[in-house]
């Protein structure tokens, strides 16, 4: 399947909290927020630190490396654009920066504890509207 056939992927809704995050991925980077007050790194993008309630947050570039905590194989797509790709693997990934995120992992075999990295090659960045991972 060519890249252009994936234009029908559901697109994320951009808002004032996630614009930087989405723009980062358009350039192949995973951007996370770090609290300027307590220094915790957080995901998902938001306007306030969930640890200390500070609204002073900075964007940092993540290493893109993490470990699979848990995962699910999705056999019944919730959108027609995924029909040819099932099963889709959605995983909770513990990032090196300490926070966790949910993301797709491009692989046939997955297990908890597996090391993954951001799939930041140009084709993946063009194809997928959100950061995506692969085994490292
Ligand atoms: Zn904080």
pLDDT digits (tens, 9 = 90+) for 6-36: 557 899 999 999 999 999 999 999 999 999 9
Q: How far is the CA of 11 from the centre of ligand 1 (A)?
A: 30
Calculate how far, in angstroms, residue 82's C-alpha sits from the geometric centre of ligand 1: 37
Please state, in angstroms and rounded to a whole number, the distance separating the CA atoms of residues 121 and 99: 23
**What is the tens place of the pLDDT at every residue in 28-84?**
999 999 999 999 999 999 999 999 999 999 999 999 999 999 999 999 988 888 899
Of 73, 77, 65, the residue nearest 118 (C-alpha): 65
What is the maximum alpha-carbon separation in the chain?
46
Residue 4 has a pLDDT of: 47
Using one digit for the tens of pLDDT, what is the confidence trace for 127-136?
999 999 999 9
Rounded distance from Cα 3 to ligand 1 centre (Å): 40
Which tokens hold the place of 1?
Answer: 């399947």
For every residue of 11-52, DSSP letters joined together read: PPPP-TTTHHHHHHHHTT--EEEEETTT--EE-S--SS-TTT
State in Å: Cα 48 to ligand 1 middle. Answer: 8
Distance 53 CA to ligand 1 centre (A): 6
């Amino acid at each position: 399947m060519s890249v252009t056939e994936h234009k029908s992927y559901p697109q994320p809704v951009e808002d004032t909290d996630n614009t930087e995050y989405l723009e980062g991925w358009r350039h192949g980077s995973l951007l996370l927020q770090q609290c300027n007050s307590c220094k915790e790194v957080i995901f998902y993008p938001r306007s306030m630190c969930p640890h200390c309630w500070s609204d002073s947050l900075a964007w940092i570039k993540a290493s893109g490396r993490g470990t699979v905590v848990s995962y699910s194989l999705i056999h019944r797509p919730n959108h027609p654009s995924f029909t040819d790709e099932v099963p889709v693997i959605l995983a909770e990934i513990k990032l090196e920066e300490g926070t966790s995120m949910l993301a797709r992992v491009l692989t046939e075999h997955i297990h908890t504890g597996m090391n993954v990295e951001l799939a930041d090659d140009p084709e993946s960045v063009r194809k997928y509207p959100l950061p995506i991972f692969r085994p490292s």
